[in-house]
Amino acid sequence: MLPGPGPRAPAGTLSLSSTATLGPGAPTKEEKDEFLRLYHQWNALENMPERLEATKQQLGRMMGVIQSRTATETRLRNLAATQQREQERVGKQLLTRLAPKGSRRHARWVETLKKATSSAEEAAQSSHRLDQAKKEHQRLETLRTDLVRQQIEAQSLAAQLETIGQKLFPRDASQPVLDRLAQEVDVLMLMQRLVPLEAQREKRARVALLEAETRLNKAQQVLRDVLQLSIRLGHANDSRDRLLPASVSKMTKMATPLLLRAKSELGDFYTWMAKARMRQALVHHAPTVDLIDLSHLPGKRANSLDGTGLQKAIERHFSDGQHAVSFLQNEIRISKAREKALYAYTNELGETVRVAQARVRAAQACVLEADSSAAATNLAKYEAQLAPAPGDVGRVPTGAAAKAAAEAEAEREAAAKEAGMADLETSTTVTSFSLTSTMVSVPGASPESYRLALARLHHVLAQGDVDARTDHEDEDLPWHMHALGF
């Protein structure tokens, strides 16, 4: 629960509410009193979601207790009935009635009587515990119904507070702090609609990645068949000691249709990779897998390859394909990690929005109730609770990653200078493109709130991609040669 709006201003003291929102159409004192009355009622019911969730969990546990005690009570009741029938059967026998007290038959009857009595007592105790559990479940069910009613009442009060608050504190006409607090609510509600769309984008991109993986595996299987053909014809293990050397022309003739099929599958692979990158810009470029030019096969032209060159080229292409398979599997894993992070962020947004709305209502009540100095102090506290602006994403690269990042930055700066643009304009253009790629139409949002929501969404996506690509298990390992002892 948020802190209260502070002490009421004494009678006859000029409060901030008497000077705010002056002019034609200013709110009346009755409206302010109504807002404060509704706020205090709502503030007493603010923690209803937490209490309702805790009650639901208690109901679930109590239902398990009832099921367990019901099974125990049924078992003990059946056992007691069995023991009672056994005791009656033994007691009805004539020899048992005539047996002396010290005899074995009389001792057996006494034992069955004790067992029947003990089983009946245990069944009664179990039935009593079951009744207690049912009463507790009924109490919790009544409490849950009452909490649901109070939650609906709190939602109704929140809607009334929203309506009156818009009239008492119109945008751009009241306190700037209140405007920023209300804008934070708008941004979070926009995030609630934008983040699930990004999760759907990840799913669509992963469909394309899986199709690309299928095409690449088919191309690899074709290249594997070419290598098997080379081994069977004797090219892979050819030597001068062979009596009949391998036929290069036969290898060329049989490998040509296989290589054509591999080229077709690779073309489909890059097509699906392009679709994946169109659906999700965070997917990296696929590594280059370039198959041999068919015009360079042995016997095709003057500068064609010989048998050894053909064998090495096929082995190199197969190795590049395996590298692409590993890259693709890693991209699919990263896509799943990004989607999981987005769903986790979405689950946290509901509570964040509720806290932000409560902060706005508490600040509005503070302006109406407290004097100028106390209101300014409390508003500063509420403003300090706002989320900071998104900053830099990720860690500082080291080693080969740092070198690659520096080279990419140098190339970007060189291209910007050649185009006659400033570095700041270039970075702004890149950011605008990244934000525009995630834009969807959400009615009722101001352009400024939309811009802030897109900037925050861009930060969440970029940070999620960095976290997904970071190997957290190797963070404790040394990263320079001196730490390894060299």
CATH classification of the domain holding 128: 1.10.287
Do 149 and 182 fall into the same domain?
no
pLDDT at 422: 40
Span 424-482, pLDDT tens digits: 333 333 333 343 344 454 555 688 888 888 888 998 998 888 888 886 555 555 555 55
**Spatial separation of the C-alpha atoms in residues 142 and 57, rounded to whole Å:** 14
Taking alpha carbons only, the member of 58, 57, 65, 59 closest to residue 131 is 65
In a domain, residue 407? The reply is no
pLDDT at 466: 87
Span 219-254, pLDDT tens digits: 999 999 988 888 777 766 655 455 555 667 777 778
Do 236 and 343 fall into the same domain?
yes
pLDDT at 16: 36
The radius of gyration computed from the CA coordinates of the chain, to the nearest angstrom, equals 38
Do 121 and 200 fall into the same domain?
no
In a domain, residue 483? The reply is no
Do 66 and 214 fall into the same domain?
no
pLDDT at 269 over 80: yes
User: 73 is in which domain, residue-wise?
Assistant: 27-168
pLDDT at 48: 80
Do 310 and 359 fall into the same domain?
yes
Tokens of 421: 């643009």
Tokens of 288: 């280059």
Do 184 and 149 fall into the same domain?
no
Do 146 and 198 fall into the same domain?
no
Do 47 and 183 fall into the same domain?
no
Do 73 and 181 fall into the same domain?
no
pLDDT at 427: 37
Q: pLDDT over 90 for what percent of the chain?
A: 17
In a domain, residue 423? The reply is no
Do 224 and 138 fall into the same domain?
no
In a domain, residue 147? The reply is yes
Asked whether the whole model's pTM tops 0.75, one would answer no
Mean pLDDT (the chain, rounded): 76
In a domain, residue 12? The reply is no
When mean pLDDT is compared over 25-39, 78-92, 129-143, the highest value belongs to 129-143
pLDDT at 96 over 80: no
In a domain, residue 222? The reply is yes
In a domain, residue 5? The reply is no
In a domain, residue 287? The reply is yes
Domains held by the chain: number:
2
Span 305-352, pLDDT tens digits: 676 777 788 888 899 999 999 999 999 999 999 999 999 999 999 888
Q: Which of 150, 168, 186 is the endpoint of a domain?
A: 168
Tokens of 137: 């479940």
pLDDT at 391: 58
Do 227 and 102 fall into the same domain?
no
Do 186 and 301 fall into the same domain?
yes
Q: Which of 113, 141, 168 is the endpoint of a domain?
A: 168
Tally Cβ neighbours within 10 Å of residue 77.
17
